[in-house]
Structure 1
Amino acid sequence: MKPVPPCIYSPCRALYRVLVPNHPRLVVSSAQTPPPPPPPPTLPVRQVRPYTRPPRRAAARGSPSSSSSSSSSSSSSSPGDGTPDEREAAAAAASIDKRYTTQRDVERSGRDRLPKDHEITDPRIMVIDGGAPEGPLPTPLVLERLAPHESLRMVQPYGAGGDAAAAAAAGPRYAVCKIVDKRDEQARQRALRERKRAAGAGGKPGPKAKTKTKELELTWAIGPHDLATKMRQMGGFLARGLKVELLIARKKGGRQVGGGEADALVDSIRGEVARSGGREAKPATGDAGGAMRLYLEGRQG
């Protein structure tokens, strides 16, 4: 029978290690302590869709694949095709770093705007911040120093400009980007949309913008205070050049109004229309005391 080894964690041995000097300390092997867990993997931050890549279009079922079409198109066009200017432009584009956004990249992107903020992949850019362009500056540094309400917008893409000799002598022309206030830009875009909406559908100016029509309703037995409120609303609409359809009807279970009182109400409404600069677009329909509709319009221009 094997003897039982003494426990190294017994109270007696613990006191012995504390009280007796120069006693060899207990060294716990690394096998008894589990290793620390590895740090979680960090994935690089990338855009889901780069700016310069056009949107993918699903091919119709039964049609040839996009790879075959692209290979056929690339094989059909060779570097020797085209005019000398086109061959020179193609050679210059091939020598440009792919990170720089050129006018050709903007046209191929399928977007109606230039890149902004983290869509800008150019390593160095010229920056406009309320004055003359400065730079070239590193793009990551410019983006890092932006305030929360600021945005970096490209206003001119990268390009050499001029002919090949001038480009070789002057060097590259970096993209020009402008620091804008997001709030001012949103207000400008909102005003632009309002102007397009007022000019006509789709932003195409027509011969005459369509005038909005407002509708107001009141009863023949309306009180003076409510009548003044309705007339103030009608006058505001007419002053803005809008059309107004005013319906005067009897209220079910309300006070009955005689012919003289109804005619007086219509006369007061027409007087308020004249004071507001409006007029009747066409004759009124209905009868006084029943259901009557007035067609009014404000001053134009």
Structure 2
Amino acid sequence: MRNFVHSFKTAAAIRPVFPLPNGLQRWPHHHPSLALINYSLRRTIVYVSDAKAEVHKSRLPRNMEIKSELVWLIDEMGEVVGPLEPSRILKNFDFQNKSFVTISENYGEDGQYPLCKIMDRAVVRRSELASLRNKQKKKQIQTKTIELTWVVEPHDLETKLRRMKEFLLKGSRVKILVKPKKKGKVIAIPDAENILQRIKDSVNEVGGKEMKPLEGQVLGLVEVTYEGKKP
């Protein structure tokens, strides 16, 4: 019995020094940090896959997708040569590092053949992803419209200005439409100009800026668009 205890202690002592082979090592069934890493990887893979699919839908044909019998080619000097057969261009082509991309599907006076170019694959990829990100940003930026008349009551003006500032603080664009009232009360030009100044002052308070210059004339239909500061 004494020998057994001694052997057990010896095995425990040498275990950190001589680890078991990979196939025999005992790993915990669940580890929070490993689960978080796996989750992050899955999200990254899904994002990349979605981005690739989005780029593929919006781009022009390339490589073997180009079905035209002949193409015009922009050479290394930037000059257009051809028309050439795509099959000859793609023979022994370095698909790993290069891309044979379509620049225009209908080039020339007759527009019969596409205009193509050989580009670095990495450069093409970066350009496409940058373009996709810009499109996504534009989709995310919402434009809100606030309408009022030149004879707006002070309380209503305060309410609309408060709403405008809330939208701008969220990074939205706000289109302001000031319209004349068809019938009834008419105000003086200085009072109308004061309304426009109140709008500008409210925009400046939240760090907004004029995106499109004011269009129209005082006491007529006036339209101006402001952009909020990025949150």
TM-score w.r.t. length of structure 2: 0.42
Higher Cα radius of gyration: 1
* Structure holding more helix per residue: 2
